[in-house]
């Protein structure tokens, strides 16, 4: 079991062309910025952008072993695990899943549970929600719980992941900016506040990787189990790197044993 885990959050904007996005994954994997990272996180919907609000995206859905999943698998290895977002074919062909694929040392998938029916959007009109099934994967002995974007607003999912052993919450996102300057500032503040809250209440790392501006807010960040932001991007494309330390998790849980101290209605 490793004492540290080097991570890279790739804050890039996906395009409307799936082939371009697959090529971008391949090119990014060869960049110096990702060398040494044992975990690489790409944003939500990286296989193909959502497009205009309400746009039908069913034509861009693929099985997990389709072109995008195959590309992610090709860049993954026992030494480097990739997490990336795609639209996955579902039983209802008109409403695919919003899925994270994990390929490399770990192989898994997570279908977004909470769809973004908020701030004037109706994600459930064009996507299917995943079943309540918290997904935790192991990379170098670090247990990683998977969430997607709007899931960040639901602390019960984060707690379920931590109860399943998560040392870090991995949150790829396409965090929509506000329509006005004030609303935009509020949305960025929500993103940072929610990421820090999930870290503080669960004494766990949070790796929140967003798509870049101008369509989204950017501001990817890594929060430690004390709630301190140890790395944060601005709005533009960038690669954010950090090192997670098991000793920091242990220290935080000894200093703030809220997980051990909590009480439930059953006792």
**Residue 194 within a domain:** yes
Order of strands, edge to edge, in the sheet holding 108-111?
Answer: 108-111, 97-103, 81-88, 39-41, 4-11, 238-245
Tell me, yes or no, whether 265 lies in a domain: no
Asked, for residue 57, whether it belongs to a domain, the answer is yes
Paired with 6 in beta bridges are: 243
Quick one: DSSP state of residue 185? H
CA distance 158 to 186: 22
In a domain, 29, yes or no: yes
Q: Nearest CA to 41 among 80, 67, 74, 68?
A: 80
Pairing of the two strands 4-11 and 238-245: antiparallel
Q: 74 is in which domain, residue-wise? A: 4-260
Asked if residue 42 belongs to a domain, the reply is yes
Q: What is the pLDDT along the chain (267 residues), one digit of tens a residue?
A: 899 999 999 999 999 999 999 999 999 999 999 999 999 999 999 999 999 988 999 999 999 999 999 999 999 999 999 999 999 999 999 999 999 999 999 999 999 999 999 999 999 999 999 999 999 999 999 999 999 999 999 999 999 999 999 999 999 999 999 989 999 999 999 999 999 999 999 999 999 999 999 999 999 999 999 999 999 999 999 999 999 999 999 999 999 999 999 998 875
What's the Cα-to-Cα distance from 185 to each of 35, 176, 229, 267, rounded to whole Å?
33, 11, 18, 41
* Residues with active-site annotation: 44, 112, 149
**Cβ neighbours, 10 Å, residue 20:** 11
Whether pTM > 0.85 for this model: the answer is yes
CATH assignment of the domain containing 101: 3.60.110.10
Cα dihedral value 236, 87, 47, 124, nearest 10: -20
Integer angstrom CA distances of residue 61 from 103, 106, 227: 18, 23, 36
DSSP H helix total and E strand total for the chain: 6, 12
The predicted pLDDT at position 225 comes to: 98
Whether 267 maps to a domain, the answer reads no
How distant, in Å, are the alpha carbons of 41, 67, 78, 254 from that of 37? 10, 24, 12, 28
User: How many structural domains are present in the chain?
Assistant: 1
Residue 226: φ, ψ to 5°: -85, -10
- What pLDDT is attached to residue 267? 59
116 occurs within a structural domain? yes
Q: Which two tokens stand for residue 154?
A: 């639901």
pLDDT of res. 105: 97
Instruction: Judge whether 266 lies within some domain.
Output: no
């Amino acid at each position: 079991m490793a004492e540290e885990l080097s991570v890279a959050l790739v804050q890039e904007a996906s395009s409307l062309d799936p082939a371009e996005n697959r090529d971008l994954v391949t090119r990014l994997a060869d960049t110096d910025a990702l060398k040494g990272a044992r975990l690489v996180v790409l944003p939500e919907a990286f296989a193909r952008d959502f497009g205009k609000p309400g746009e039908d995206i069913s034509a861009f859905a693929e099985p997990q072993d389709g072109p995008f999943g195959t590309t992610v698998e090709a860049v993954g290895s026992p030494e480097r695990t990739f997490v990336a977002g795609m639209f996955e074919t579902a039983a209802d062909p008109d409403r695919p899943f919003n899925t994270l694929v994990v390929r490399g040392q770990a192989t898994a998938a997570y279908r977004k549970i909470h769809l973004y029916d908020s701030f004037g959007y109706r994600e459930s009109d064009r996507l299917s929600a995943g079943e309540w099934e918290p997904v935790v994967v192991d990379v170098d002995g670090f247990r990683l719980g998977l969430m997607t974007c709007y899931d960040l607003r639901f602390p019960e999912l984060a707690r379920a992941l931590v109860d399943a052993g998560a040392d870090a919450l991995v949150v790829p996102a396409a965090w929509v900016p506000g329509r006005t300057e004030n609303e935009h500032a509020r949305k960025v503040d929500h993103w940072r506040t929610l990421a820090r809250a999930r870290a503080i209440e669960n004494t766990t790392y949070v790796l929140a990787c967003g798509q870049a501006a101008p369509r989204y807010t950017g501001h990817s960040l890594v929060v430690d189990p004390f709630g301190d932001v140890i790395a944060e991007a601005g709005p533009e494309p960038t690669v954010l790197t950090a090192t997670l330390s098991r000793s920091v998790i242990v220290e935080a849980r000894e200093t703030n044993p809220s997980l051990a101290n909590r009480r439930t209605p059953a006792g």
